[in-house]
Structure 1
């Protein structure tokens, strides 16, 4: 299977740029996420972490 894909990709000019672009997107996304996590305000993190514990749901059952 890999031999079939590799054979087709060898015939495309400039195909080597796609793995580089995908690696850069992956790296910058997680670097940005890492930066955001360490610079986020504690009050915001506390507020967001308590959302699942709040009981502000609307009961739609007709019981």
Structure 2
């Protein structure tokens, strides 16, 4: 049933290409962000699960 619906659509082959492009751009964006983020921010975020709730620590970017 779905195959016939998709076959009847014109230019349906563009949708997988668009979704792949969106995925690749998102992945590249996250990789660039991960390389450029300050190490202090990573250390601060990694220590959050171990911090006490009563202790207040401020991160200054």
Taking structure 2 as the reference length, the TM-score comes to 0.77
Moved over 6 A (4+): none
Higher relative contact order (CA 8 A, sep 6+): 2
What's the C-alpha RMSD, in Å, of the aligned pairs? Answer: 1.3
Question: Could you say which residue in structure 1 is the equivalent of 2:59?
Answer: none
Q: How many residues align?
A: 54
Taking structure 1 as the reference length, the TM-score comes to 0.75
Gaps of 5+ in 2: 55-61
> Which one has a bigger Cα radius of gyration?
1
